Structure 1
C-alpha cells in the first residue's frame, strides 16, 4: 500500500521534537547567508545569484537525465534578470522554457500557485509537445497511469505507482488550496511537504520532478522572503541522487508519518547551503582576478578560456582543448597559452603529451 492509498491521505504527521534542532539550524543558516550576501555589494550578489540559478536549472534537469548547455542557461537567466555578462550566447527553445519556469517560481514567489500556472510551467518545459521522441499531453493533467521510475530506458527502477488519473483533479485541488491557505506550518517544512505531496500525485505525463523542485524553490523563496537565490537544493539532490530516490521510495511505501523524509530534506538543504560558502569564495576569487588583470592585454579567445578556468572547468587544459573551445588552430592555441604564461597568468605542468596548463 502506498501513502496515497491510505485512509487518512493526505494528512501527513511527523515528530516535531526530532526535527526541531535541524529546522532551527537551517533557519539560522538562511539568515546568516542573506546577511553575508548583503555585505558583499550589489555586483557580487548578482554574480552569486546568477551562478546559483544557473546551477539550479542545470542540475534539476540533470536529475532527469537531460544535460543542458551551461552557457545557454547562464545567458538566458542573465538576459531575463537584466544582468550584464560577457560572452552571451543564444539559448535553444527548450532551455528558454526551463529557465522561464524556474524564474517564474523564484522571482514571483508571492504570486498564487494555481492550476493554470502549473499548466504554463509544464508547457514551458515541453515547447514542442514532446519528451524526447515521445509525444505527450502538454499543459493538462495526465489521462493515464503513471509509474515513478529512475535509471536508463529499459533498465528502469520502479519506485512507486502514482494515483489513478481520475483522482488528479481532486488531488490537485486539495494540494493547491493547502499551498495558499496553510499559514501555521514553518515555510521551510512546507517546502519539504509540498515537494513530497506534488511528486506523489505526479499529475503530468512528464516533468513532475522538475516542477516538484520548482515548487519547493518557490516555497523556499517565500521562507527567505527574497527573490535572491544563493543556494541550490536541486544541485544537492543531484549530488545525492540515489539517496533521493531511496528516501522517496521508502516514504511512498510507509505510513503518513513523514519524519524521515523531513529529516532528509533538512539535511540536504543544509548541505546545499554549505556550497554557498564555496560559491561566495569562487565569486570573490574571480572578482579579484579580473581586478588584478584589468589592464592586461588579452584577446577574446584568452578571455573566454580564463573565464571558464575561473568557473567549474572540467578536466585539464591542453592545447587541443583550448583550440576546440576557441575554435582555432593548435598553433594559435599554443601561442595564446605561451602568451598567458609570459604574462604570469598560467603555468605549465607535465611534459610531452601530458602537458597541461593551469592558473598560477
Structure 2
C-alpha cells in the first residue's frame, strides 16, 4: 500500500535544506534581475507585447499540461479585449476561454488581495462555467465531496489505469485548505519560496473535482507576480513546465509519496523557474536587437516592413521571397517590391540570388549578433 505525503506525522509542516535552496534562490533572483533589466531598455510598446504574449503562454500551456488544446489567437484576443489592448488580428473567444482569462487576470492583477475559499470558488467557476468537465457533471465552486470514491490521479486506458496519487479524504479538505490559505495570506516566507511550497501543497490537497492543476499554476503565478512587485509578465512558468512536463509529473509523484522534506521538489521548481527566466532573456535579447537595428537605421518603416523584419528576427520558415511578402501582407506584387526595395536601400535587407531564386535575409551583422 502506498504512503502519501499527507499521511506523514506533522503534515503539513514541510522542511527543506535551506542552504541548498537559498543558493538556488540567489541564482533565480540574479536571472530575474537580468531579465527585468533587459526589459527596461526596450520601451513600453515591446513591454506591453511581451506582457500580452506571456499571459497568453501561461493560459495556453497550463491547459496543455492537462491535455486541453486551446486556440492561441483566441486566448490572446480575449486577453487583449479585457486589458483594453487593440490588436490587428483579434478573433471572437468562447466562454470557456474567457473564463480561463478571467481567472488568470484576477490572479495577476489582484496579487495583493487575500486568497480565500470564495475567491478560489470563483476561479473554479471560471474554469467550468457550464458545470461540466467534458461530458461529466462536477461540483463547481465548492470543494470535492468524493461521492464517487477517493480522489485519484490516474493515467492509462480504461481498465488498465495506473494510480499515481490518492488525495486526502474529502472530510479533511476544509481543514487542509484553512492551513493552506493561512500560509498564503499570513506567512512572511520569501514569495518565490512560498510559490514553490504552495504549488506542491495545493496540488497535494487536490481540493476540487477537476481543475486542480490549472488553479495550482494560477496561485503560483499570483505569488510570482507579487514577488515581481506587480510588474508586467515577462516570463512564463507554465510554458517552462510544459517543456519539462514528464519531469514535472515525475517529481510531483515522487514527492507526493515521500516525506515532509521537500528539498527535491524545491530544487526542481527553482531550477525550472530559472530556465523560464533564461528563456525569456534569450527572447528579449532578440527584441532588443530588432529595435536597436531599426532605430539605428533611422528608417521610417511602414507597418508591413516592421512586421516582416519581426518575422525574420523570430526565424522565418523557409526563404523570404517577394511573392511570399505579397501573400503574407495581402498586397500586390508591385507594392511588395516597393517595400523590399526601400528596405534594401536602407540596408535592412540583403538580396540573394537572381530571377526565381531571389530571396532576402537580414544583414549578416545581425545574424552574427544573434549567434553570440
Kindly state the Cα deviation for residue 260 of structure 1 after the two structures are TM-superposed.
0.3
Aligned to 2:24: 22
Partner of 2:220: 216
Q: 2-side partners of 1:172 and 1:95: how far apart? A: 27
Q: Secondary structure at the match of 1:116?
A: helix
Residue 317 of structure 1 and its aligned partner are, at CA, apart by 8.8
Q: Per-residue displacement from partner, 1:277-316 (whole Å, max 9, x unpaired)?
A: 2321343466579888865585xxx999987776688x76
Which stretch shows the higher mean deviation, 83-92 or 113-122?
83-92
* Alignment deviations for residues 58-107 of structure 1 (CA, whole Å, 9 cap, x no partner): 11010001111111111111222222322111111111111111111111
**How far is 1:48 from its partner?**
1.2
Equivalent positions of 1:156-305 (< 5 A) are: 157-183=162-188, 185-284=189-288, 295=301
TM-score, normalization by structure 2:
0.80
**2-structure distance, mates of 1:281, 1:132:** 41
Task: Give the counterpart of 1:140 among 133, 142, 145.
Answer: 142
Root mean square deviation of aligned Cα:
3.5
CA distance in 2, matches of 1:104, 1:265: 23
1:87-102, aligned counterparts within 5 Å?
A: 87-102=89-104
TM-score (norm 1): 0.83
* Structure 1 spans left out of the alignment, 5+ residues: none
Structure 1 residue 129: Cα displacement? 1.3
CA distance in 2, matches of 1:73, 1:252: 32
User: SS of 2:210's equivalent?
Assistant: coil
Q: Deviations over 1:186-231 (max 9, x none)?
A: 1111000000000000011111001001101111111111241111
Aligned counterparts of 1:123 and 1:347: Cα–Cα separation in 2: 55
In structure 2, list runs of 5 or more residues that go unmatched: 363-372
- Alignment partner of 1:257: what SS? coil
Q: Which moved more, 1:67-76 or 1:196-205?
A: 67-76
**Residue deviations 1:16-75, cap 9 Å, x none?**
012121111112222232222222211111111111111111110100011111111111
The aligned counterpart of 2:368 is: none
